[in-house]
Amino acid sequence: MVGSILYPYINFTDLSHGATIWNWDFGDGSTFGTEANMQHTYEQTGNYDITLYVMNDYGCSDTAYSEVIIEGASTVYIPNAFTPNGDGKNDTFSVYGIGLNDADLVIFNRWGNAVFRTSNLNEAWDGKDHFSGGDCPVDVYIYNVKVKNFKGETQEFTGRVTLLN
């Protein structure tokens, strides 16, 4: 089973017949579960060895093993508007998120000309044309961003951002 640290809740189901005693070991040092069906929350990423020991009323027992992998996660946040008016609120446009290692961001005006380009996740667009130096007018702009997640996989997003006053 594979889960994500963003949703680290794993449901476990005993498929044996006639069991009356259950001992679940979730592999993370937490308390043991003692019901046929359990939900467990993992606090950290990692690989966890799961053990289920069952017994019936006649003393017959069995043990089953499985593995759970809780992966890290990446989340990308891309706003759809900003107001570079110097009031300290939403003055820049930037791409940010969880588990991002690298990014290439390009902003285009309505004629397809690039007005901003960066490969630095910490650099934000301030509403200026970084090639001519002038202020960009109030308008809708197109962004294209390629980000690398924690696994090194590239994800590409294209969308619109509105520059407002």
pLDDT digits (tens, 9 = 90+) for 36-86: 999 999 988 889 999 999 999 999 999 999 999 888 777 889 999 999 999
Sign of the CA dihedral with 78 first, then 79, 80, and 86 last: negative
Assign residue 127 a region: left if phi > 0, alpha if psi is -120 to 50, beta otherwise? left
Question: What is the CATH number that goes with domain 2-71?
Answer: 2.60.40.10
Round to whole Å and give the CA distance between 24 and 51.
6
Choice between 33 and 6, residue whose per-residue pLDDT is larger: 33
pLDDT of 125 > 70? The answer is yes
Round to whole Å and give the CA distance between 68 and 128.
48
Round to whole Å and give the CA distance between 144 and 159.
7
Mean of the per-residue pLDDT values of the chain: 92
pLDDT interval class at 4 (50, 70, 90): low
Is this prediction's pTM over 0.85?
Answer: no
Reported as a single tens digit per residue, the pLDDT across 9-49 is 899 999 999 999 999 999 999 878 899 999 999 988 889 99
| Residue 51 burial (CB count, 10 A) | 14
pLDDT interval class at 8 (50, 70, 90): confident
Contact 147, 155 (CB under 8 A): yes
Across residues 131-143, what is the average pLDDT? 96
Terminal CA-to-CA distance of the chain, rounded, Å?
49
pLDDT interval class at 134 (50, 70, 90): very high
Q: Answer yes or no: CATH 2.60.40.1220 is held by domain 75-163.
A: yes
Contact 51, 61 (CB under 8 A): no
Contact 135, 127 (CB under 8 A): yes
pLDDT interval class at 160 (50, 70, 90): very high
Q: Which residue ranges does the chain devote to CATH 2.60.40.1220?
A: 75-163
Q: Which residue ranges does the chain devote to CATH 2.60.40.10?
A: 2-71
By CB neighbour count within 10 A (0-12 exposed, 13-18 middle, 19+ buried), where does 127 fall? buried
Contact 70, 42 (CB under 8 A): yes
